[in-house]
Amino acid sequence: MPDTTIGFIGGSVAYRLMSENKITGRRLGPRPTPYGDSQPIFHCTGPQCNYYFLSRHGERGYETTAPYVNYRANVYALRDLDVRTLIAWSGPGAINPNFQIGQFVIPDDLIDETKNRPHTFYENKGIGFVRQHPTFCPALRRTISETLGALGLQYDDDATYVCTQGPRLETRAEIRKFAQYGGDLVGMTLVPEVFLAKELEMCYAAICYVTNHAEGVGPQRDFRPGALFEGLASPEEMKRVNAAVERFPEIIARLATAIARQTTPPECACHHTMERYRQRGDIGEDWREWVAR
């Protein structure tokens, strides 16, 4: 049997789904790591679910904004629970004008525009020159794609996600620059999560739902004080976004079941990203020793 311990990292509105008991599980609490405490972890077990879950921004509200999430503690804590398959969700804006508000996107590549975030487990340890293609686990992306398709949800599965530092939104000129880079989505959370997961030999992929069109994309929108994103998204669009978010409990339950049913190891190299160092004798079998501080 392949190693299928699964973890989910919930994005902006995960806390709401938890407070409404749409995502449930035994609360294990924050988990101590060499990088500080993780966000509280929940363990969902039952016929329809067997996975660990944490809400990236907090369990009661949007307490921790993207630049201040302790990404290393969250990824370490899940790996410490034997998670090798990690799926995150995120609500970016669309740079690509063809993307619809509320639709799903499974990104396949990424541009890192963050600044000063702790971004590696291997702080000057002589290891960690890890190849970044494929950026996201191709096997996991395929499973997500099949699952969204089976649920009849609209999605795209090739998109480049630009990760900015935040918490502020982007300027119009920045969005023009990202468009020239080939960016399709702009968000604040998949970096360094995806890179940290690779360092600990985990499969990682993301499910994005489009929350708005990025600054300067689509029709001109006036600055509206007091409105969400100061008017970048209309109330009608936010209804579509909320409808997308409401699908996550079903999506993650279906995904957990689909992954648990897989009887062969995934056709990807994610569990071997550190093989070069292992063969060279730089690191041993216990991953905790690789990252020991």
Nearer to Zn ion, 15 or 89 (CB): 89
DSSP state of 34: B
> Hey, CA dihedral for 137, 142, 145, 150, is it positive or negative?
negative
To Zn ion, the closest distance from the beta carbon of 170 in angstroms equals 30
To Zn ion, the closest distance from the beta carbon of 202 in angstroms equals 8
- Alpha-carbon dihedral of residues 249, 253, 258, 261, nearest 10 degrees? 170
Nearer to Zn ion, 63 or 82 (CB): 82
- Can you give the binding site for Zn ion, defined by CB under 5 A? 137, 139, 203, 266, 268, 270
To Zn ion, the closest distance from the beta carbon of 210 in angstroms equals 25
Cis omega before residue 92 (within 30°)?
no
Nearer to Zn ion, 28 or 268 (CB): 268
To Zn ion, the closest distance from the beta carbon of 266 in angstroms equals 5
- The rounded distance, in Å, linking the Cα atoms of 88 and 240 is 20
Nearer to Zn ion, 270 or 283 (CB): 270
To Zn ion, the closest distance from the beta carbon of 139 in angstroms equals 5
Distances (CA, A) of 42 to 29, 51, 198, 267: 7, 8, 23, 28
Nearer to Zn ion, 251 or 270 (CB): 270
Nearer to Zn ion, 94 or 203 (CB): 203
Nearer to Zn ion, 200 or 214 (CB): 200
Going by C-alpha positions, the residue among 166, 187, 175 that lies closest to residue 117 is 166
DSSP letters spanning 38-107: PSPEEEEEETTEEEEEEETT-SSSS-S-GGG--HHHHHHHHHHTT--EEEEEE-PEESSTTSPTT-EE--
Which residues are CB-contacts of 262 (< 8 A; sequence separation ≥ 6)? 2, 4, 143
To Zn ion, the closest distance from the beta carbon of 141 in angstroms equals 9
To Zn ion, the closest distance from the beta carbon of 137 in angstroms equals 3
CA 183 to centroid of chain Cα atoms: 17
